Chains A and B, each alone.
Chain A
Amino acid sequence: MSKTILTVDDSASMRMLLKASLTAQGFTIEAANDGRHGLERMIEVKPDLLITDINMPEMDGFELIEAVRAKPEFRGVPILVLSTEFSDEKKARARQAGATGWITKPFDAAKLGTAIRRVCP
Chain B
Amino acid sequence: MSDDLDDIQAIFFEECAEGLATAEAGLSAMADGDVSAGVIAGVFRAVHSIKGGAGAFGHAALTAFSHRFENVLDEVRAGRIAPTPGVTRVMLTAFDVLADHVAAAQGTSPLPADAAVAAALDQVLADRGVAEAAPAPVAAAPAPAPVAVVEDDPFGFEPVTASVEPFDPFGFEPVTVTLDLLDDAQPVVADAPLPWTVTFVPSDAALANGGEPMLIVRELEMLGGTITGVDLSRLPSLRDLEPEHAYLGWTISVPGTVEESAIGDCFDFVAPESIVDIVREISPDIVSTATPIAAPLAVAPVPAPAPVPAPVALAEVPTLIATPIAAAPVPPMPAAVAPVAPPPPPVRPAPVRVDEAEVQRTHEVAAQTIRVDLTKLDMLLNLVGELVIRGSILADRLSPKDQERVELPQLSRLTREIQDTVMSLRAQPIKQAFSRVPRMLRDLSAETGKQVTLETTGETTEVDKGVIEKIGDPLTHMIRNAVDHGIESPEKRLAAGKPAQGTIKLSAEQKGARIFVRVADDGGGIDRARVRAKAVEKGIVAPDAVLTDEEIDQLICAPGFSTAETISNISGRGVGMDVVRSNVEALGGRVEIASTPGKGTTFTMVLPLTLAILEGMIVRLAGQRFVLPLANVIETVQPEPGQVRPTTTTGEVIELRGNYLPVRRLTRTFGFADNDARTPEESLVIIVESETAGHVGLMVDTIDDRREVVIKSLDQNLHPIRGLGGATILGDGSIALILDIEALVGPSAPLNRYPQKGLAA
Residue numbers of A with Cβ under 8 A of B are 10-14, 16-17, 20-21, 24, 33, 55, 57-58, 69, 75-80, 83-84, 86-89, 91-92, 95, 98-108, 111-112, 114-115, 118-119, 121
Contact = CB atoms under 8 A, between A and B. Distances in A.
A108 to B, nearest CB: 5
A119 B269 contact: yes
Cβ-closest 6 pairs across A and B: A101-B269, A106-B55, A78-B210, A13-B12, A100-B210, A106-B56
Given A78-B210, A119-B269, A20 B5 contact: yes
Contacts of B398: none
Interface in B457-512: none
B403 to A, nearest CB: 44
Contact of A20 (B1, B15, B215): B1
Contacts of A101: 167, 211, 268-269
Nearest to B216: A118
Nearest to B154: A86
Interface in B313-331: none
B75 to A, nearest CB: 12
B630 interface: no
27 contacts: A11-B53, A12-B11, A13-B9, A13-B53, A13-B56, A16-B7, A17-B56, A21-B1, A55-B45, A55-B48, A57-B45, A69-B208, A75-B208, A79-B210, A84-B159, A86-B159, A87-B152, A89-B344, A91-B167, A95-B209, A95-B272, A101-B167, A107-B56, A115-B268, A118-B219, A119-B210, A121-B215
B163 interface: yes
A104 B348 contact: no
B53 A14 contact: yes
Nearest to B41: A55
A21 B56 CA distance: 12
A105 B588 CA distance: 40
Nearest to B359: A57
Contacts of B210: 76-79, 98, 100, 119
Contacts of B211: 78, 100-101, 119
Task: Output the residue of B155, B211, B348 with the most chain A CB within 10 A.
Answer: B211
B359 to A, nearest CB: 6
A15 to B, nearest CB: 9
B49 interface: yes
B215 A118 contact: yes
A104 to B, nearest CB: 5
B267 to A, nearest CB: 9
A24 B9 CA distance: 18
A87 B216 contact: no
Given A10-B49, A75-B208, 20 more contacts: A11-B49, A13-B11, A21-B1, A57-B359, A76-B212, A76-B244, A79-B209, A79-B210, A86-B165, A95-B209, A95-B271, A100-B209, A100-B269, A102-B167, A105-B55, A105-B56, A106-B160, A114-B265, A118-B268, A119-B212
B9 A58 contact: no
B695 to A, nearest CB: 46
Nearest to B341: A88
Nearest to A93: B351
A21 B5 CA distance: 10
B354 to A, nearest CB: 8
Which residue among A57, A77, A84, A89 has the maximum number of chain B CB atoms within 10 Å of its CB? Answer: A84
Contacts of B48: 55, 84
A89 B149 CA distance: 12
A101 B215 CA distance: 14
Contacts of B209: 69, 76, 78-79, 95, 98-100
Interface of B: 1, 4-5, 7-9, 11-12, 15, 44-45, 48-49, 51-53, 55-58, 63, 152, 154-155, 159-160, 162-165, 167, 207-212, 215-216, 218-219, 244, 265-266, 268-269, 271-272, 341, 343-344, 346, 348, 356, 359-360, 363, 371
Nearest to B48: A55
A24 B676 CA distance: 53
Nearest to A105: B52
Contacts of A79: 209-210
A24 B473 CA distance: 13
Contact of B163 (A16, A33, A84, A108): A108
B531 to A, nearest CB: 32
Contact of A11 (B15, B152, B159, B160): B15
B221 to A, nearest CB: 12
Contacts, number: 149
B423 to A, nearest CB: 22
B734 to A, nearest CB: 31
Given A91-B167, A114-B164, A75 B244 contact: yes
Nearest to A98: B209
B14 to A, nearest CB: 8
Nearest to A32: B373
A76 B159 contact: no
A16 B11 contact: yes
Contact of B52 (A16, A77, A84, A91): A84
Contact of B15 (A13, A84, A114, A115): A13
B344 A88 contact: yes
B215 to A, nearest CB: 6
A92 B342 CA distance: 11
Nearest to B215: A121
A79 to B, nearest CB: 6
Contacts of A80: 269
A35 to B, nearest CB: 11
Contacts of B341: 88
B404 to A, nearest CB: 47
Nearest to B9: A13
Given A16-B8, A16-B11, A95-B272, A115 B164 contact: yes
A46 B167 CA distance: 26
A88 B212 CA distance: 23
Contacts of B343: 88-89, 92
B8 A17 contact: yes
Contacts of A115: 164, 268-269
A95 B271 CA distance: 7
A20 B52 contact: no
Contacts of B15: 11-13
A63 to B, nearest CB: 11
B51 A84 contact: yes
Contacts of A57: 45, 356, 359-360, 363
A93 B343 CA distance: 11
A86 B162 CA distance: 10
A16 B15 CA distance: 13
B49 A87 contact: no
Contacts of A78: 209-212
B655 to A, nearest CB: 58
Nearest to A53: B52
Contacts of B162: 86, 104
A100 B268 CA distance: 10
Contacts of B346: 89
Nearest to B271: A95
Contacts of A86: 154-155, 159, 162, 165
A19 B162 CA distance: 21
A92 to B, nearest CB: 6
A14 B160 CA distance: 16
A12 B51 CA distance: 14
Contacts of B216: 118
B56 A14 contact: yes
Contacts of A21: 1
B215 A14 contact: no
B78 to A, nearest CB: 10
Contacts of B4: 16, 20
Contacts of B164: 103-104, 107-108, 111-112, 114-115
A112 B360 CA distance: 32
